[in-house]
Amino acid sequence: MANLRLENITRRFNNVTAIEDITFKVPDGEFWVLVGPSGCGKSTIMRTIAGLETATSGNLYIQDILVNNVPARQRDVAMVFQNYALYPHMTVAENLAFGLKMRNFEATKIRERVENVARSLSIDHLLNRKPKQLSGGQQQRVALGRAIAREPKVFLLDEPLSNLDAQLRDDTRAELKQLHQRLGITTVYVTHDQVEAMTLADKIVVLNQGKIQQIGEPQNIYAKPANRMVATFLGNPSMNILPATYTNSTFQIGSQSLACPPSIRERLQPRDGQGFDLGIRPEYIEIFGSFSKQEDDLNSDLWALEKLPLEVEVKVVEPLGRETLIRAALPILGGDNSVTSIQIQVPANVRLHPGDRISVELDFNHLFVFDPTTGEALYP
């Protein structure tokens, strides 16, 4: 077991900067997840840790030892990549044992480790099969098992579950979590899957265009994103961004005005008259009524309810089982036809149809405000 420290790591390929000034420290035994859009530098970070890529500048430490010049095979780092390669001519048992044999482990020790790992991944009944006699999911477990059997200092997993079907992916994710709890091996994990990131990570590192945007515990990043990119990237369906202006304690979205909640007013007062991006997650928007009902409903005390009403037109209705996702159009400029799309998550029993015009309420306790130019979070 070991801690892992990246210090100001930059990697350039000719004129492409794949990663820039990456600094973070994974404490001994923690499970960290790297997320970010395609091309943001996740694999480059993993390959640099593994020693398959040389940093242009910066330092990498494993267990507080500088390993910049230590070759990959001496770093005691085990990797499982999306396109794992099992040795096709070897049985499962031989594949699991391979790394241990290369390190001259005793035969009895090898057998013991292979059996333990196979049992923990439920592949112990497959030990005599060759890879081509296994399903994709079983092959993936063997690849994981081969890395686990080595009991490395650091475990690098680059989208290891992406070849599995949904059910197997869920099961293997839970197994991975249990396995990590048991073995406590320092792990860095790359995924595009939000659920994997949120459920597995001690800390999430959000990357964009080669740079770290935010590092934090999953729930903290979700609740308090550092900027618009992080806010819209984490969460599925993703956060709505509504362009607005703020004048005299009022947000203006197209022709619609919303009184600015007192808690936000203070923060925005010095920027009166400017544009902002308002953020609200789909689960914090509620259907409030149809246009015909609106006047009555407006009589209720919206301030007391801590809700902000908006009028939108339903465009697409997507039933998801437990809830339904509504995509609606919200006019953003008075007079012309400019609209922005807004996503609303409603209970499955709410029946709506494309073309319905409805009022929705934004829960202002869950409102975010971003600088429209820099994307920096201004509130909360």
Q: Which is nearer to ligand ATP, 44 or 240 (CB)?
A: 44
Q: Which of 8, 13, 247, 319 binds ligand ATP (CB under 6 A)?
A: 13
Q: Look at residue 351 and give its three-state secondary structure.
A: coil
- State yes or no: residue 40 binds ligand ATP (CB under 6 A): yes
- State yes or no: residue 208 binds ligand ATP (CB under 6 A): no
Cβ of residue 16: shortest distance to ligand ATP, in angstroms? 5
Determine what percent of the chain falls in helix, strand and coil, rounding each to the nearest 5. Answer: 30, 35, 30
Q: Which range, of 13-21, 242-250, 305-313, 353-361, touches ligand ATP by CB under 6 A?
A: 13-21
**Is the four-CA dihedral 327, 332, 333, 335 of positive or negative sign?**
positive
* CA–CA distance, 6 with 216 (Å, rounded to integer): 16
Q: Which of 42, 150, 173, 281 binds ligand ATP (CB under 6 A)?
A: 42
* CA–CA distance, 259 with 249 (Å, rounded to integer): 6
- State yes or no: residue 38 binds ligand ATP (CB under 6 A): yes
Half-sphere exposure of 11 (CA within 13 A, CB side): 25
- State yes or no: residue 243 binds ligand ATP (CB under 6 A): no
Q: Which is nearer to ligand ATP, 22 or 110 (CB)?
A: 22
Q: Which of 4, 26, 35, 43 binds ligand ATP (CB under 6 A)?
A: 43
- State yes or no: residue 369 binds ligand ATP (CB under 6 A): no
Q: Helix 166-183 to helix 107-120 angle, to the nearest 10 degrees?
A: 130
Cβ of residue 260: shortest distance to ligand ATP, in angstroms? 38
Q: Which range, of 39-47, 100-108, 137-145, 296-304, touches ligand ATP by CB under 6 A?
A: 39-47
- State yes or no: residue 41 binds ligand ATP (CB under 6 A): yes
* CA–CA distance, 373 with 333 (Å, rounded to integer): 19
* CA–CA distance, 310 with 257 (Å, rounded to integer): 8
Kindly tell me the burial class for residue 277, based on how many C-beta atoms sit within 10 Å of its own C-beta (0-12, 13-18, 19 or more): buried
Answer for the pair 334, 249: CB distance below 8 angstroms, yes or no.
Answer: no
Q: Which of 29, 39, 235, 289 binds ligand ATP (CB under 6 A)?
A: 39
Size of the site for ligand ATP (CB under 6 A): 11
- State yes or no: residue 169 binds ligand ATP (CB under 6 A): no
Q: Look at residue 39 and give its three-state secondary structure.
A: coil
Q: Which range, of 11-19, 103-111, 195-203, 368-376, touches ligand ATP by CB under 6 A?
A: 11-19
Cβ contacts of residue 257 below 8 Å, gap of 6+?
250, 251
Q: Which of 9, 44, 110, 188 binds ligand ATP (CB under 6 A)?
A: 44
Answer for the pair 194, 281: CB distance below 8 angstroms, yes or no.
Answer: no
- State yes or no: residue 299 binds ligand ATP (CB under 6 A): no
Q: Which range, of 36-44, 55-63, 272-280, 290-298, touches ligand ATP by CB under 6 A?
A: 36-44
Q: Look at residue 222 and give its three-state secondary structure.
A: helix
Q: Which of 4, 6, 18, 200 binds ligand ATP (CB under 6 A)?
A: 18
Q: Give contact residues for ligand ATP (rule: CB under 6 A).
A: 13, 16, 18, 36, 38-44
